[in-house]
């Protein structure tokens, strides 16, 4: 069974971090671009720690900072 359309998601996305400038889109979520993998991981960790949130690594290598 799928999620009902009227059901509110049980998570909140705080930030989307990527190495690809083409994936930066406008919207309600903070989207950040990093120059290299080290900076990407550091920014992701620091943001998640500051917001007391979780990190999800996507299959394309990008990260999302979320709270469940």
| Domain ranges, ordered by start, for the chain | 16-21+33-60
This prediction has a pTM of: 0.81
Q: What is the DSSP letter of 58?
A: -
Assigned token pair, 56: 């999800």
Q: What is the pLDDT of residue 2?
A: 59
Dihedrals phi, psi of 34, to nearest 5 degrees:
-115, 145
Paired tokens of 6: 């009227």
| pLDDT per residue rounded down to tens, the chain (68 residues) | 555 666 777 889 999 999 998 888 777 889 999 999 999 999 999 999 999 999 999 999 999 999 98
Residue (of 67, 63, 65) closest to 23 by Cα position: 63
Q: CA 32: distance to chain centroid?
A: 9
Chain-centre distance of CA 57, in angstroms?
8
């Amino acid at each position: 069974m799928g999620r009902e359309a009227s059901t509110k998601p049980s998570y909140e996305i705080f930030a989307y971090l990527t190495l690809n400038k083409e994936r930066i889109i406008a919207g309600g979520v903070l989207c950040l671009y990093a120059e290299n993998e080290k900076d990407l991981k550091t920014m992701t960790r620091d943001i998640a720690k500051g917001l007391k949130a979780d990190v999800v690594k996507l299959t394309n290598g990008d990260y999302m900072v979320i709270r469940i």
